[in-house]
Each structure stands twice: as C-alpha cells, then as structure tokens.
A = this chain, B = another copy of it.
Amino acid sequence: MPLTRRTLIAGTAAASVAAHIDRAAAETPAAGTATPGIYRYKIGSYELTALYDGIWYRPIGDSFIRNARFAEVERALDLAFMPHDKLATPFTTLIVNTGKKLVLLDTGTGGQIAPSAGVLRDNIAAADIDPKAVDQIVISHFHPDHINGIKDKDNALIFPNAEIMVPEPEWAFWMDDGNLNAAAADLKLTFLNQRRIFADIAKQVTRFQSGKEVAPGIETLPAPGHTPGHTVFAIHSGEQSLLVLSDTAQHPAVFARHPDWQAAFDIDGAAAVATRKRIFDRAAADRMLVTGYHFPFPACGHLIKTASGYEHVPVEWQPNL
C-alpha cells in the first residue's frame, strides 16, 4: 500500500471534499513492507547490481569456532551488536552486466533456508532484471545458500536460460559417493541437497578449472579450505577491478577481525585460514575494492590490515553511476 495522502482520500466516500479534510485527524497508513535491497555500481564499463537475499540467524553453540574460547567469540559478537546464540549471516549475490552478458555470481537460498531469507527474486524484480535474461550462473562453492537459488522449492529452474558453471574440484569432491558415505550425518545432508539441485540438470552444468575466465573480464581464482573447490572471482573492466571474496571470510565482524578462527562449517579449517590471510593480505596491501557474500549489504568495500586482523570498510552509497 503506497504511503500517500491520495490513497487515503481515495478510500473515503467523498473524494471531492478531500481538500477540506482535517489533516491532523487523518491517519497515515503504514507502508508495511521493507524497501528493496538492491545497489548498483560500475566497474569500468560493467554494470554490477548487488542483490540482497536476506539474512539467516544461524544457530551456533559454544563449539562454533574450533580454535577459540567461546568467551572470546562472545566478545567479538558484542562489539558487532550481534546475538550470542546465532550468527548473523546476510546473503548478497551479484549480477554483472558485461554489456554482452548477464552473469549471476551465486544464487542465494531459493527461500529454502530461513524465513528471513529468500527475497532475491523480489529484489531482482525491483532491479528490473528478468531472470530469463540471465545468461550464466557462476557458483563459488556448493553450500546450500549459494546453490539452492538455482531452483525454487518445487525444483523448477529460476533462471531457465542460464548456463550453470561450477568449480571442477567442488563437483569432484561433493559428487563422490565415497565422500558422501564417509560424511558425518549433518554433512551428509549437504551432499544430498547438492544431488537434489544438480541431479536432473547435470547436462546443463559446465565445470570450470579455477584460474581461467568464465566470461570476458571475470577471472576465477582457487581459494580452497572453506570447501575443497571454493572459488573467488576477480572482475576487470577498463582500469577498474573488484575482488569477489565469496566465503573467504563469513561475517567480517567475526572472521575478518579474527582471521585465525576456524569455523565448524569449514571443511579444512587450517586451509581456510591460510587462504583467507593470503587473499586478505593482498587485498589490503593493494587497497582493492572487494565484496563478500556474507558481508553486510551492499557488501562492497575495502579491507584494512590491523595489528590483529582486518577491518572491512564499507563503500559510501553513491547516488549516481
């Protein structure tokens, strides 16, 4: 319901006397809905749209970080005004318009993870983007919040015309039945979810080797640890670049500030830490523009190296392209 006096007046029996209505007595209807989470910016001639899929408050226990006392974790959460029993996990996907192609990097939750997430489709509509116009989907890794948005709850493709490109080592690890059978019960669910997503569309999926371009100006870089095939992206156009960090760190208030912390959801915690430091050191030293999938919306900014870790510095919201 638009928040206008006109709307209010249209609801009265005598619109012709509208001008005489006592304004002070008229109630103001609430909008009742959130505003879209969309943010557009440019890298060279490429037009990028950050698209929010919402936020999941992921339940955590006191063993959430494998190598830190929970009291330390609680201190980090307090400094970020985050709750202690769940990790604020926002999701921001990115559509790159190269002028020739629309490329979607990761696909959100598809509304299949938490009631507070799954608004990607609304935000794509608010950004005037037709899901049918997306030419390529490029996946960073196979966790459900990155791949579930390939399909809706009824298993139908949300972006029906898109080629789906996935990291070869990610496919190799998760599609291996030996790995599935050896997995602990909760990780087994992740394996089974991937089979649900990919089983009937395997022929439409292209596997890429990290280190190559998946589209002009979109470079893929191996970043293993969080998962074996976890991939980051570098987008180049003209003189400008953006480093897409994927899950190199989840929420920066926790994992950029504490780069040594190994989360329970990292497949190889030590490798995840080494990858994080390698990539963040480079991004901070070169003052690169970065975006992180779980950084606060619109998720774009820079990294500063501090005595104990890194600080994420969000970009200022630009009102023009």
Known: A34-B40, A39-B35, A321-B32. A100 touches B316 (CB 8 A): no
Residue on B nearest A319 in the bound complex, by CB: B54
A23 touches B135 (CB 8 A): yes
Residue on B nearest A102 in the bound complex, by CB: B28
Size of A's binding interface in residues, CB under 8 A: 65
- Contact residues in B for A97 (Cβ distance below 8 Å): 3, 28, 30-31
Rounded to whole Å, the gap between the CB of A9 and the closest CB of chain B is 10
Known: A133-B3, A302-B81. A31 touches B128 (CB 8 A): yes
Q: How far is the CA of A138 from the CA of B148 in the complex (A)?
A: 46
Residue on B nearest A39 in the bound complex, by CB: B35
Interface assignment of A304: CB less than 8 Å from any CB of chain B: yes
Q: How far is the CA of A119 from the CA of B317 in the complex (A)?
A: 12
Known: A35-B36, A35-B127, A133-B4. A28 touches B319 (CB 8 A): no
B321 touches A99 (CB 8 A): no
Could you list some 13 contacts between A and B, CB below 8 A?
A3-B97, A3-B128, A5-B133, A23-B135, A28-B102, A33-B40, A34-B318, A52-B319, A54-B319, A116-B319, A117-B319, A119-B319, A297-B316
